[in-house]
Structure 1
Amino acid sequence: MNSLQCETLLGDPALLSMLQARNYSAVIIDLFTNSCGMIFSSLLKIPTIGFLQIGAVGLEGRYIGALNPPSVSSQVMSDLGVPNTFLERTWGSINAVADWLIHNYVQTRVAVSIAEKYLDEVPDVYELFGRLDLIISGSHPIVEFPKYMPQKMLSIGCFHCRPAQRIQNKVLREFLDTSPFPVILASFGYTMANNGIYQRKLLRELMKAVKDLPVRAVIAFDPDREEKELVPENVLLVRWVPQQDVLGHPKTALFISHCGISSTLEAVYHAAKVIAIPISLDQGENALRLKDLGVLNHILDPRVAKAEDVAKFIEDDLEDDRLMENAIKFSQLMRDSLVGIEDITMRRINQAIKYRGQHLNIPSYKLNIFQFYCLDVALFFLVLILCCAKVSLTLFKRSYRYWRILPVIKEKGE
């Protein structure tokens, strides 16, 4: 959260008074880089429920008790998946340290410095993270690499997922219904929303890739006049696409996606084969997870994605029955896991309001990075071992000298 947003939240006593007067039962707050929001929510003095859209990663994860060191777990924006080699653990550690430095010495310090201008006493931000009453994750265990999770975390990823419905846009509906070929959906969420040079280059490569293939393609993009003239007959450009309805359409055979968390969840739910073109944040990790599940074969770098490569990957994936088998398997698993999720979620929220969640706290928020990874303990044992080695070596040298001169002493005595 930037400094302007901090000023808006903490510098407006009327906002705080209005919220306090309404007697809310709980506050739900996004935890991602939101120290100011945490400070503000503590002023309401009501049960606090945290929300993480992309799962328990980064420093937020550690402070809420999701103890995932870089030796066993993927780190945010590392694009590694589960680390298997020394170099991967090293890169994951570098990412973890960078995240720690940014969180501690930039984001949190900015929040605290602004809070000090308006509050007589600023609460400990890390303690606020650690003492949340409930944490809701917008991700899902299927689309995340396995992680350690605190008991007070509830995953509700794909809460919004539903079976496909009849498409209301007549042009789009007829484009799919009348297609004699498999249909490809290419959608990149807000990544393509600003229509910059970067996005327009990717659009042109996608259109070139499908132009001569026996497919139809729906691409979510708002073209300019020049791009409209380049659109092939088998391509439909739309400003917005009802993604779940298109993914669940019987003619849809492949999904080209940036692998944002919502798109990843919907792809799994609707048993879609995927070609990934991740842009930033968690998207690379999501793509690697889909590859690990066997519903994705190809991950493209958007900076160098070429039409020839995209066309080849499309042809390969359309013929790959193994991808579809895995997609159906994990779609069924996800749908089974979501049965009754609404009731479970409401019950957990009501429990957090009624009983709070302090009995489930993991005190990791009290520890600095050296204590958390027991580096201080390791250093203590290292010093202890060195001291013991020094004492042992000194005793050995003295004993050795004594045993060497012992015969001489005996001769002189005789």
Structure 2
Amino acid sequence: MYNKMFCCCTAFLLLILIPTGCEGGNILVFPSEGSHWVNMNILLKPLHSRGHNITVLRPINSWYIKDDSSYNTITVPVENILDQKLLTRLVSEAIQVERGALPLTSFLQKSVGMISLFLDIHKAVANFVSAILDDSDLIRQLKDSKFDLLLADPCSGSGVILAKYLNLPLVYNVRWLIFAEAHFSIAPSPLSYIPVTGTGNTVEMTFFQRVKNIVLHIITQTQNSLAVKLLYQKITDKYFGPGYDFNELMINADIWLMRVDFVFEYPRPTMPNVVYIGGFQCKPAKPLPQHLEDFVQSSGEHGFILMSLGTFVTELPADITNEIAAAFAKLPQKVIWKYKGSKPATLGNNTLLVDWMPQNDLLGHPKIKLFVAHGGTNGVQEALYHGVPVVGIPVFFDQHDNLLRLKERGGGKILSLATVDKHNNFLKAIEEVLSDPSYRANMQRLSRLHRDKPVMPLDNALFWIEFVMRHKGAAHLKAESYRMPWYSYHSVDVVLFLAGAMLLVLVTTFYLIRCIYTGMCKYKVKRE
């Protein structure tokens, strides 16, 4: 009996002591501010709960990234200019441009006019990574920590520089690569049917829409090149020497976690190391706080409408808010409106203004009828997940394109800031989506497609992050294209070689024929 007990105890101890495939890793995080950090944190929480050690780098005055006791936070004594005041000003300027400019002027202003401001933001991020690399004590601490990978946001070019300096595998979260959409840098992307973000195009483009597509692609790639040349290549030269091309470093990530899926995104070519995790932040609704539940239940059979224009749009111009409030007041539905600022003069008794709300839980509530949104990726994907039709009021960045994908699939309508307060446009759009059952039916169909997956998006993201840690990278998934110069990638050198060879054959053939002809003529003259 004692032998049996001894064997059982030995087996139990062996099970405890033998390393398993789920052994905790060590992850260094180089995040961005705002909603990008909110999404990054959604990945970090389950990674931390699975036993992984998380270390987050943050500037001293970080707006969103707090000194969270759940993670190891390293605060770098560098000021971050990307704060709430700057973004509020950026949104206000975008609203003014949208409302007061002609379509062409608005397009140029949003695509070109703000380049200096964006370069200032990238300069601040570049200074942040320079401060890290210049701090010998901090670098020694980071090297001694033996990290397994670096998780970064590619919308700034600094994370890849730090990953290269520490010789760490790199995982990207988000699909933006500085100014442009990342697919255009890592996968074949024919501009004939793949719309560039900001054009408002779909996959079905007319001739002039394709012209617009190419023009904006040239603009965004020029902006990227400018940011690389003025900022990131200089840092690369400083810390690695002149033999390194930042553009090659930038697209040399092991895994790209893209926050879209092909229910939402248009079909396009992709690469083996791109993992689609669209809707990874979505989950079944939880019970609402009691005061919100009471308000929602008071709506009776009419249900309720949810309105949120995101984190950055704190207050719209007074004439727009009054028009929106007046339109809501005419509806039988109750309205929950995330809003900061002066109370609209036309606010009805059916509308509740809140500073914060559990958006996902409200969108998943049985009484939800409609979502009025600005078109941010999170809100659009949560609406898609729960099957809620949308009336969109985009402000800037990719918001119009996000809403356009829902509109093209019959799940919503889009209003511009220039016309939302004119001719009862807002009220008409709300009433149309509420009264026409096809909008809800289409969103419910998209929701079923979105949910019908063998692996949930968040689980997929966690698997590939841990995959990179287990295998010290994912080099076998990287295409050779990122090492190739543009003329080799597009086979320009091959085309020139073949054209030259063909020209040589033609010239040689011409001279041979000419020589033969000349010889025959001389022979004929000689005989005569």
TM-score of Structure 1 vs Structure 2, range by shorter chain: 0.7 to 0.9
Q: Quick check: 2:179–2:223 contact (8 Å CA) kept in 1?
A: no
| Post-superposition offset of 1:300 | 1.1
* TM-score for the superposition, normalised by structure 2: 0.68
The partner residue of 1:280 within 374, 393, 396 is 396
The partner residue of 2:414 within 279, 299, 315 is 299
Return closer, same or farther for 1:205/1:130 CA change in 2, 3 Å cut-off: same
Work out the CA distance in 1 between the residues paired with 2:231 and 2:450.
40
2:216 paired with 1:99: no
Work out the CA distance in 1 between the residues paired with 2:387 and 2:527.
95
- Secondary structure of 1:148 counterpart: coil
The partner residue of 1:9 within 96, 112, 129 is 129
The partner residue of 1:352 within 444, 468, 488 is 468
| Gap runs ≥5 in structure 1 | none
Work out the CA distance in 1 between the residues paired with 2:172 and 2:142.
18
257-266 vs 338-347, which moves further: 338-347
The partner residue of 1:43 within 150, 161, 165 is 165
Q: Quick check: 1:184–1:216 contact (8 Å CA) kept in 2?
A: yes
Q: CA RMSD in A?
A: 3.2
Work out the CA distance in 2 between the residues paired with 1:113 and 1:148.
32
Counterpart AA for 2:122: N
* TM-score for the superposition, normalised by structure 1: 0.85
The partner residue of 1:89 within 210, 215, 218 is 210
Work out the CA distance in 1 between the residues paired with 2:172 and 2:407.
30
Return closer, same or farther for 1:72/1:400 CA change in 2, 3 Å cut-off: farther
> What does residue 265 of structure 1 align with?
381
Work out the CA distance in 1 between the residues paired with 2:361 and 2:488.
50
> What does residue 71 of structure 1 align with?
192
The partner residue of 1:124 within 245, 248, 254 is 245
> What does residue 138 of structure 1 align with?
259
Return closer, same or farther for 1:2/1:344 CA change in 2, 3 Å cut-off: closer
Work out the CA distance in 2 between the residues paired with 1:232 and 1:38.
51
21-30 vs 54-63, which moves further: 54-63
| Gap runs ≥5 in structure 2 | 1-120
2:446 paired with 1:330: yes
Return closer, same or farther for 1:184/1:401 CA change in 2, 3 Å cut-off: farther
Q: Quick check: 2:152–2:173 contact (8 Å CA) kept in 1?
A: yes
> What does residue 60 of structure 2 align with?
none
> What does residue 430 of structure 2 align with?
314
2:364 paired with 1:364: no
Q: Quick check: 1:77–1:281 contact (8 Å CA) kept in 2?
A: yes
Q: Quick check: 1:138–1:158 contact (8 Å CA) kept in 2?
A: yes
Q: Quick check: 1:139–1:158 contact (8 Å CA) kept in 2?
A: yes
| Post-superposition offset of 1:309 | 0.9
> What does residue 179 of structure 1 align with?
299
Q: Quick check: 1:271–1:327 contact (8 Å CA) kept in 2?
A: yes
Work out the CA distance in 2 between the residues paired with 1:11 and 1:51.
23
> What does residue 354 of structure 2 align with?
238
377-386 vs 285-294, which moves further: 377-386
Counterpart AA for 1:140: D
Deviations 1:277-324 (A, max 9, x none): 11111112111111222212x211112212601111111111211222
| Post-superposition offset of 1:30 | 0.7
RCO higher in 1 or 2 (8 Å CA, sep ≥ 6)?
1
